[in-house]
Structure formats: structure tokens, C-alpha cells
Structure 1
Amino acid sequence: MNNEEIIHIAAEACDDKRAEDIVVLNMKEVSLMTDYFLICHGSNERQVQAIARSIKDSLEEKDIHINRMEGFEQARWILVDLGDIVCHVFHKDERSYYNLERLWGDASQVELNTGNNG
């Protein structure tokens, strides 16, 4: 399965749990650590955990290995590491504070076809 298909599965998992403002950044030209960032947020800790769990479960159903998940207990910024793709699931307050889209402003945005990515 290629990265674009994995991103689509992860984005759909986010959308299924009503994640807000789902964004994918192509990091290939601006970072050596990963090829893509998927960024989204939830409005409370329970929703943030549900989004991260949905990503994990959806990918594991397709036999896609999760390297690690960090921040799940605090549910303020959960990082789901897939190697070439890193999913950042934020609490709404932390997303606006860290503003990864601005920090990595040189990265191009990848178009998504989920129902809740605007």
C-alpha cells in the first residue's frame, strides 16, 4: 500500500470521529524526518483520544504497522508515527498554539477528499 492510500485511510478515520480541519502537508522537500504530516484537532480530550484510536484501528485493520503513539493519556497532542507519515491529533487549544501549518509553511498542502476537511 502506498503513502497516499495510507493517508486516505488515516484521514477517513479522522473524519469518522468528526476531527476538525484535517490537513495533510507534503514534507518531502522540507524535512528529512518524514514524507507527510496529517494534522487535525478535536474539541476535547475524549474526542482527541477517539480520533487517534480510530487512526490506529483503521490502519491495523489493513495490516499497516504503527511505529508508536505518544501523548494518548494527556490527549492534548497525540502523535501517531507511521514512519513516512506522522499524524498529529491536537486538542483545539494546542493546535492553535503550536500552529504546525505555519511552522512548516514551506510544505505544500495535499488535497483531501473527506467530508470534514475544510
Structure 2
Amino acid sequence: MQTNELLDFALDKIDDMKARDVITLDVRESSDITDYMVVCSGNSKRQVQSIARHLAKEAKEHNLDVIGQEGQDVGEWVLVDLGEVIVHVMQDETRDFYQLEKLWG
């Protein structure tokens, strides 16, 4: 799957679970780790966990590599690493505190 297709796939799957305030950051010029970061919000711990779980499950069902998943047990910030695309699913308070958009934007 091409990088743009992977990005579209991730955006579609987090939209399935009603992720809010979705921002896509093109970090190809500033990162050797990934090409795109997606930052989105969930309304609660349960929704953050559900968004990330759904994305990882769908990726595996489509034979995509899920390189890592962190934070699922806490649910304040869950990271799903799909290689060229890394998705950060956060509660509002955590997102406001870390301000990834400003750091990477």
C-alpha cells in the first residue's frame, strides 16, 4: 500500500469511530521515523481506546503492519504506529498539554 493510501485508510478508520479535530501533519522533511502524523481527539478514555483499537484491528485485517501500539491501557493518549503513518489519539486535556501540532507543525 502506498503512503497516501495508508494515510487515507487511517483517516477513514478513525472517522468510523467519530474521532474529532483530526489534523494531518506532513513530517517528511523533519522526521526519519515516519512520513505523516495524524493527531485526533476522543471524548473520553473509552472512545480514545476504541478509536485506536478499531484502527489497529482494521489494519491487521487488511494485512497491514501495526509496528506498535502504546497507551491503550491508560487511554489518555494512544499511539498507533503503522510505519509511514503514526496516529495519535488523545483526550482533550492531554492534547492541550503536549501540543503536538505546534511541535511538529
C-alpha deviation, 1:85, in angstroms: 1.4
> Does the 8 A contact of 1:10 with 1:58 survive in 2?
no
Partner of 1:88: 88
Task: For 1:8, give the aligned amino acid.
Answer: D
C-alpha deviation, 1:81, in angstroms: 1.1
Distance 1:8 1:57 in 2: 16
C-alpha deviation, 1:96, in angstroms: 1.2
Distance 1:14 1:83 in 2: 17
Task: For 2:83, give the aligned amino acid.
Answer: G
Partner of 1:54: 54
Task: For 2:48, give the aligned amino acid.
Answer: V
Structure 1 segments of 4+ aligned residues over 2 angstroms from their partners: none
Distance 2:8 2:57 in 1: 14
Task: For 2:49, give the aligned amino acid.
Answer: Q
C-alpha deviation, 1:51, in angstroms: 0.3
Partner of 1:79: 79
- Structure holding more helix per residue: 2
**CA RMSD in angstroms, aligned pairs only:** 0.9
Of structures 1 and 2, the one with the larger relative CO (CA 8 A, separation 6+) is 1
Distance 1:79 1:3 in 2: 18
Matched, 1:40 2:6: no
TM superposition score normalised by structure 1? 0.85
- Structure 2 unaligned regions, length at least 5: none
Aligned residues: 105
Distance 2:103 2:2 in 1: 26
Post-superposition Cα deviations, 1:40-78, rounded to whole Å, max 9, x if no partner, equal 010100000110011111211211010110000000111
- Structure 1 unaligned regions, length at least 5: 106-118
Greater mean deviation of Cα atoms: 47-56 or 80-89: 80-89
TM superposition score normalised by structure 2? 0.94
Task: For 1:91, give the aligned amino acid.
Answer: Q
